[in-house]
Amino acid sequence: MPEDYAFIHDPQRCIKCYTCEIACKQWRGIAPGDFKLRKVYEVATGTFPQVTRTFHSAACRHCLDAPCIPVCVPGALSRDPVDGIVKVDATKCNGCRDCLEACPFDVPAFDLDGIMHLCDLCSDRLAEDKQPICTDVCPTGALRFTR
């Protein structure tokens, strides 16, 4: 990948406030109840009364060898040759969901019409030398971005 971008998430600092998820949806103009590009989830381990809960925030990892790209028969997925970000051409997506089956992180999101969407690391903000919106708004610093 031409650039070394990475989200760093510290589940010990995450309070499951959903600020990253909400900011992403608002920044991208995604309607409530529609798909999410960033997903906050909880993992519980142990057995009662020794239960531990941790919270996680996940989005597309833009894998160097992204398994979603070669399985996309209509060619809707590609890696940008300049910044290395995996991008979706929504006009080519047929909603087959093969990308979802190939993704080891269960990341691809589908809108109400069945078209796939991915986090693009807020490439519009990166172009302005800003951080992705989700990391800018994280109140505990649990979600960070490096390049």
**Is residue 75 pLDDT above 50, yes or no?**
yes
Query: Are 8 and 145 within 8 A, CB to CB?
Result: yes
pLDDT, tens digit, 9 for 90 and up, residues 54-63: 999 999 999 9
pLDDT of residue 83: 85
Can you list the domains of the chain with their CATH numbers? 6-146 (3.30.70.20)
pLDDT, tens digit, 9 for 90 and up, residues 87-142: 999 999 999 999 999 999 999 999 999 999 999 999 999 999 999 999 999 999 99
pLDDT of residue 6: 87
3 state DSSP class of 14:
coil
pLDDT of residue 84: 87
- Percentage of the residues of the chain whose pLDDT score is greater than 70: 98
pLDDT band of residue 1 (cuts 50, 70, 90) is very low
Nearest 10 degrees: CA dihedral of 146, 13, 57, 17? -120
Question: Tokens in use for 137?
Answer: 């708004």
**Is residue 82 pLDDT above 90, yes or no?**
no
